[in-house]
Amino acid sequence: MKFSRVLPLLCSISSTNPIIPGFNPDPSIQRVGKDYFLVTSSFEWFPGVPVYHSTDLIRWELIGHALNRPSQLDMRGTAPSGGIFAPTLRFNEEEQQFYMITTFFDVISPPDVTRTPRAFYVTTKNIWDDASWSDAIYCEQTGIDPDLFHEGGDTYLLTALGAGFLGVEDPGYFSIFKSLIDRTNGNPLTETELFHISTLPLDTPRLAEGPHLYKRDRWYYLMTAEAGTAAEHRVMIKRSLSVDGPWEENPANPILFNGKDLSQPVGATGHADLVDTPEGDWFLVFLGTRKQNPQNATGYNQLGRETFLAPVRWEDDWPIVNDNKPITLQMDGLYELPRQKIWRDDFDQDTFADKAYYTARTPYRPFHSLTDKPGSLRLRGNAYTLSDRETPAAFFRKQVDLEVVWSTEVDFQPTSERHEAGATVFLSIQYHNEIAVTYKDGNRVVVARTARGPTAAITEEFFEIPTEGTVKLFIAAHRDHYELGYALGDEAASYVAKVSNRWLQSYVEGWQVFTGTFFGVYATGNQLPILQPADFNFVQTELLDDVS
């Protein structure tokens, strides 16, 4: 096992939540020695299930992905906000092996939903090496948000699944089911049993998911995420002296719920996991949102659901989160980590600068090169566009700051109005906005394209540019809107289009959105492949002055 330098955990100034900003929902955490490892949901993005590492719970580094090859995760036509749901990361001490369990839900939005996914897990003895993760081992038990609990030689599987088919009275949308499995092959060793039904009122809504089973001292604990993933989201817990019950509900439930005060700038807190430190302190990681315009429950969270942290203390063998105070952006007791002012990849190596690049769904074949033109990322546009439920020739990075400029420089010589290459700010196949180089009426032009309104209506504007030469492209993110711009030569950026941030956290009726905003670069032939390459000389993010 590789270990990193240990940083001091406690400090005299406050820390800034979220600890992992940008689209990073459903965190699950595991400590091994002095090292913490954390995974989050990835939905339709590839590679899947990012793995983060820290030695102090504040400074996190993306070290890889548990699902990083098509034999593990083959997403073809996966719907927006389908894909990989709610992973759990656990370490088996006896085997000295990590288990990551999750579900793949490729059809999430009506009228496509026809089945319930089953859980699968992958394993590794070397979490630092992406190639070491095994292929998937599938379980028979269906349901989302799976959890594994190892005790001795036993392994319990928990999933969230609707219980109405059992004839149970008023079980709500989801309940928790449990079975004992053979962890070498995923086969069940016991019948699957109904394990937990939410006790919330039916109209809250009654919906239990994200289960985690723990043992601390003599007590077993079942922690669940309840009431959906919007403003009413919360964390509940109950305990028992036996994994088979009887179970006692915490009289202080919910233990985490920012929905009590909808004026708070942090909302939708839930889907949590517990972790202890080597010193015996306890913390909770969980998802939350940073609302904007205004900074309360009526605002919009264009970055999606992010990973937050709060301290936990124990009283009468019950966990108390943040001394029962609301979750805020500033949390006492931990040090503040400054944001990086400028991040840049000049594509001057034969690999990307880090592991934070993603594609939409699993690529069929490579569509890029970092060596064909040294110092550039060369994209070969394929037939797919950013609006297709497929994998366009595009690389994306999560937007992790609210006020930031994404920029790039592209050399692209289109010869058809189908040809296009540029920069995008992307939420889904319906809601994405581009500033790009294309061809129109016999001229090379820049197109600024925005999607807005409940039907994601498209608006386009065109600006003629010289027939040759590179073009710099800019997307400026602000707290209430995005601006699209371009520049030639050494000119300053000229911003030519604007779109409200509300359309970067929206969805067309009948669909859903569980993800967050990405920046990206792309090339497309709009239904046909193209021969002209698009060469991107760099990509960069630069914080604007207000980064709070």
User: Tell me: the pLDDT tens digits for 495-506?
Assistant: 999 999 999 888
C-alpha to C-alpha distance for 98 and 95, rounded to whole angstroms: 9
C-alpha to C-alpha distance for 388 and 79, rounded to whole angstroms: 10
Q: What percent of the chain has pLDDT over 90?
A: 85
C-alpha to C-alpha distance for 105 and 258, rounded to whole angstroms: 29
**DSSP codes of every residue in 268-320:** EEEEEEEEE-TTS-EEEEEEEEE-BSSSSTTSB-TT-SEEEEEEEEEETTEEE
CB of 497 within 8 A of CB of 484?
Answer: yes
The pLDDT score that the predictor gives to residue 111 is: 54
CB of 128 within 8 A of CB of 155?
Answer: no
C-alpha to C-alpha distance for 447 and 526, rounded to whole angstroms: 14
Q: Which two tokens stand for residue 407?
A: 């920029």
pLDDT band at 243 (very low <50, low <70, confident <90, very high): very high
User: Tell me: the pLDDT tens digits for 397-427?
Assistant: 999 999 999 999 999 999 999 999 999 999 9
Q: In the chain, what are the domain boundaries?
A: 22-244, 342-543
**DSSP codes of every residue in 152-202:** TTEEEEEEEE--GGGT-SS--S-EEEEEEE-TTT--BSS--EEEE---S-T
Query: Against a cut of 0.85, is the pTM above it?
Result: yes
Question: Position 426: which residue type?
Answer: F
C-alpha to C-alpha distance for 191 and 29, rounded to whole angstroms: 28
Average pLDDT over the chain reads: 93
C-alpha to C-alpha distance for 506 and 512, rounded to whole angstroms: 8
- CATH superfamily for 22-244 is Glycosyl hydrolase domain; family 43 (2.115.10.20)
Checking if the pLDDT of 210 tops 60, the result is yes
The pLDDT score that the predictor gives to residue 545 is: 80
pLDDT band at 16 (very low <50, low <70, confident <90, very high): confident
Checking if the pLDDT of 5 tops 50, the result is no
CA atoms within 13 A on the CB side of 210: 29
pLDDT band at 231 (very low <50, low <70, confident <90, very high): very high
In angstroms, the Cα distances linking 409 to 79, 169, 262, 437, 520 are 31, 60, 42, 11, 12
| Over residues 13-33, mean pLDDT | 88
Sign of the Cα torsion 246, 250, 256, 262 reads: positive
The pLDDT score that the predictor gives to residue 450 is: 98
- The DSSP symbol for 509 reads T
pLDDT band at 110 (very low <50, low <70, confident <90, very high): low
User: Tell me: the pLDDT tens digits for 525-537?
Assistant: 999 999 999 999 9
Checking if the pLDDT of 547 tops 60, the result is no
User: Tell me: the pLDDT tens digits for 192-201?
Assistant: 999 999 999 9
The pLDDT score that the predictor gives to residue 8 is: 34
Cα angle at 231 between 547 and 306, to 5 degrees?
Answer: 40
Nearest to 269 by CA among 302, 298, 228: 228
CB of 87 within 8 A of CB of 81?
Answer: no
The residues that bridge with 479 in the sheet, in sequence order, are: none
Question: Peptide bond preceding 47: is omega within 30 degrees of 0, i.e. cis?
Answer: yes
Q: Locate tokens 């913390």: which residue?
A: 283
User: Tell me: the pLDDT tens digits for 336-390?
Assistant: 788 889 999 999 999 999 999 999 999 999 999 999 999 999 999 999 999 999 9
Checking if the pLDDT of 159 tops 90, the result is yes
The pLDDT score that the predictor gives to residue 334 is: 62
What architecture does CATH give domain 342-543? Sandwich (2.60)
User: Tell me: the pLDDT tens digits for 368-379?
Assistant: 999 999 999 999
| 3-state secondary structure (DSSP) of residue 446 | strand
In angstroms, the Cα distances linking 107 to 115, 175, 384, 448 are 8, 21, 20, 31
**Which DSSP helix (H) or strand (E) runs through 395?**
strand 393-398
CB of 339 within 8 A of CB of 17?
Answer: no
Strands 175-181 and 154-161, by their bridges, are: antiparallel
The pLDDT score that the predictor gives to residue 546 is: 56
C-alpha to C-alpha distance for 414 and 215, rounded to whole angstroms: 61
| Over residues 254-279, mean pLDDT | 95
In angstroms, the Cα distances linking 92 to 88, 98, 463 are 13, 6, 59
pLDDT band at 106 (very low <50, low <70, confident <90, very high): confident
User: Tell me: the pLDDT tens digits for 444-492?
Assistant: 999 999 999 999 999 999 999 999 999 999 999 999 999 999 999 999 9
The pLDDT score that the predictor gives to residue 114 is: 57
CB of 271 within 8 A of CB of 225?
Answer: yes
Least confident of 104-113, 143-152, 320-329: 104-113
Q: Give residues with Cβ within 8 angstroms of 360, minimum separation 6.
A: 44, 45, 46, 386, 390, 391, 392, 394, 396
The pLDDT score that the predictor gives to residue 11 is: 35
CB of 42 within 8 A of CB of 84?
Answer: yes
The full length of the chain comes to 548
Least confident of 18-22, 152-156, 197-201, 330-334: 330-334
What are the E-state strand segments in 106-143? 118-124, 137-142
Strand arrangement of the beta sheet that strand 144-151 belongs to: 144-151, 154-161, 175-181, 193-196
The pLDDT score that the predictor gives to residue 3 is: 30
Tell me the catalytic residues: 26, 209
CB of 504 within 8 A of CB of 450?
Answer: no
Checking if the pLDDT of 4 tops 70, the result is no
